[in-house]
Structure 1
């Protein structure tokens, strides 16, 4: 497929896979940056400070919203090929099994490193794991409790499953035809300037109304601000998944959206640079909501537009990375935290250390994926789909058993 082809004639929107792949790669860099930035995180570098904050702000407003949009689109495509019950069953298996396994096996090393750094914990990992899995109340220094067991970065998987269930019930109640009409109506509504202004305004209103009261918790049950942003974006992705008009409009507006996104990022950096006494009050909160909403949505629109125009291509790399990306997401933060903790006593220069962490995280993540995809028993726990070759072998074996009866 030509590099500059629009997806209007394609059977599959391959650029959505590339967006997801690139977004997860950005997450590795972002989570490494959190180790060095001024914001709270599980472990912190001795070099942590505000110098890296502008780079964190470059991706912080939009990275997860983009993933929810693409995940919604993927859900929309899956729903078009399966019954409601089959869709829900397959998505539950795909999401809940890795989530539960991740909370029990993948996330605890992060919390162990956090307990060592923040609480001076000096017990063995096995002792910690036993206390952690049984929600020992002892990990609460000064009332700042360590979530045990917690899902840390896997909150995205939990939210995605809840939104998937909500989408499935919505389809069952409203019917597929009504949702298809809703998708076409949305495409007509989100045309021209409205494609930029309306979603950005909705995000800004949600932040102005809900963020001051509820904040950003990732705890699911009380995270009303994030739900007010992420679920509509997920639903938008599901509704416009097969509507080429929306993606082509994003491609048409990509340069304007990019300019607004960069302007929003610059304004966001300026707002964060204000002295603490100026970062309070309704005027500041309203300005922050407007700037963040603009930056958040316009970046998403620009990414979709450029990807639609230049990345709607298939090939072995896309197929391989699409199969690997969810597994890499599951394991990447644990690798970052463990590597950062192991390298900290060496006092390596921060830029060198950060580069080593990023490279080793990618190497370790791909190495784990390569091992897991060769062991069928582990594949469901890391969200790895069986290869077509393996599925064909199993199908032939099943057919042979049936024929032999």
Structure 2
């Protein structure tokens, strides 16, 4: 495990980010979009919410898990000072740039679209997670380095034994259930800029590290039991979809969330743990694309929504042009201008590739 290259983790990150972009596009077609600062279609597509509610319970915890896993791979080659310096470049710098430059762009488009007074104020917007992750690194790095540099062999052995049982990974749900019972969030899926989102992310980041630290037992378990986890998750989702209008108690959502996550980890470990040129390119592009996607989405929505075409066609058009616009910005500008690359979490050297589990894409999580 120490020297294994984990292509599946990078693949899952890329897929998750793509789903997050689609999720944000789908918000445009919800009747409540304007209440959370999104440009809203006059004709909604509320049926999209059924699929959105399936993603909602696991998409943010999943990406925090992946970020914690990424730190495990990163500190194999770094000391404490090097880790903080590297994460400051990859996380803190893009976060500051995003707060003052990137996030206000889609706010301006929103204000212009609805003919509101133009106002500027620093706000993390969809980049809120970067601040969270940087704090997690600072808080947990001493413990992580203790575990890595001075292995507690008894602890690691016991942890591996626990993870070797199908109930082992699921046992961490207890901590997430405790979190929601203590904080009692109004909505389980309300992660951005809330204490619930902060502590849920902290737990996922911490256990993401421990899952990789425990060795192959965790991965063999999620591989062997992936269909069980996915079956439980799907059953839970269908129950709340048909009988509870997509709502369940927070503790039930915490369990469903983890079943989705472990099932997806199992699928990734089985089918995606192999290199490819596409992965090399997309791992580099994912972070910058996520950073710019809200500004592109709002601009595209402002142009497409007034058109006299069917609403489903608007959804397809906004989806396509948003993805194309983001990759054009990445390929034509961000990845080619040395001064811009660090502001989007990339190294100054153009096209310098990194090992899976490391690098700029590691910081990626998402906003609801």
The answer to whether the superposition gives a TM-score over 0.5 is: yes
Deviations 1:264-296 (A, max 9, x none): 21123246528xxxx8xxxxxxx4223311221
* Alpha-carbon distance in structure 2 between the residues aligned to 1:54 and 1:181: 45
1:403 maps to what in 2?
Answer: none
* Uncovered stretches (5+) of structure 2, i.e. residues with no partner: 354-368
* Alpha-carbon distance in structure 2 between the residues aligned to 1:108 and 1:360: 21
TM-fit CA distance, 1:211: 2.8
* Uncovered stretches (5+) of structure 1, i.e. residues with no partner: 1-7, 123-127, 133-147, 280-286, 392-405
1:159 maps to what in 2?
Answer: 132
The 8 Å contact of residues 196 and 257 in structure 1, kept in 2 or not, is answered as: no
1:329 maps to what in 2?
Answer: 290
Deviations 1:116-146 (A, max 9, x none): 456x415xxxxx3xx41xxxxxxxxxxxxxx
The 8 Å contact of residues 200 and 298 in structure 1, kept in 2 or not, is answered as: no
Does residue 231 in structure 1 map to residue 202 in structure 2? yes
Deviations 1:351-391 (A, max 9, x none): 11111111111111111111211111110011123457669
1:339 maps to what in 2?
Answer: 300
Give the structure with the larger helix fraction. Answer: 1
Query: Superposition RMSD on alpha carbons, in Å?
Result: 2.6
2:366 maps to what in 1?
Answer: none
Which of 264, 270, 277 is the matching residue for 1:303? 264
TM-fit CA distance, 1:256: 0.2
Cα 1:17/1:60, change in 2 over 3 Å: same
Q: Tell me the TM-score normalised to structure 1 length.
A: 0.78
The 8 Å contact of residues 35 and 45 in structure 1, kept in 2 or not, is answered as: yes
1:37 maps to what in 2?
Answer: 30
Cα 1:192/1:34, change in 2 over 3 Å: same
Q: Tell me the TM-score normalised to structure 2 length.
A: 0.86
1:141 maps to what in 2?
Answer: none
* Alpha-carbon distance in structure 2 between the residues aligned to 1:255 and 1:19: 17
2:122 maps to what in 1?
Answer: 149
Does residue 188 in structure 1 map to residue 161 in structure 2? yes
Which of 107, 112, 135 is the matching residue for 1:111? 107
The 8 Å contact of residues 264 and 294 in structure 1, kept in 2 or not, is answered as: no
- Matched ranges for 1:5-404 at <5 A: 11-39=4-32, 40-42=35-37, 43-48=39-44, 50-116=46-112, 120-121=115-116, 128=118, 131-132=119-120, 148-171=121-144, 176-178=149-151, 182-195=155-168, 197-212=170-185, 216=190, 218-219=192-193, 223-242=194-213, 243-270=215-242, 272-273=244-245, 287-370=248-331, 371-387=333-349
Larger radius of gyration: 1
2:356 maps to what in 1?
Answer: none
* Alpha-carbon distance in structure 2 between the residues aligned to 1:26 and 1:180: 39
TM-fit CA distance, 1:165: 1.3
TM-fit CA distance, 1:154: 0.3
TM-fit CA distance, 1:209: 3.0
Q: Greater relative contact order (Cα 8 A, min sep 6): structure 1 or 2?
A: 2
The 8 Å contact of residues 14 and 283 in structure 2, kept in 1 or not, is answered as: yes
The 8 Å contact of residues 91 and 130 in structure 2, kept in 1 or not, is answered as: yes
Deviations 1:32-83 (A, max 9, x none): 1111124443222112363222111111111111111111111111011110
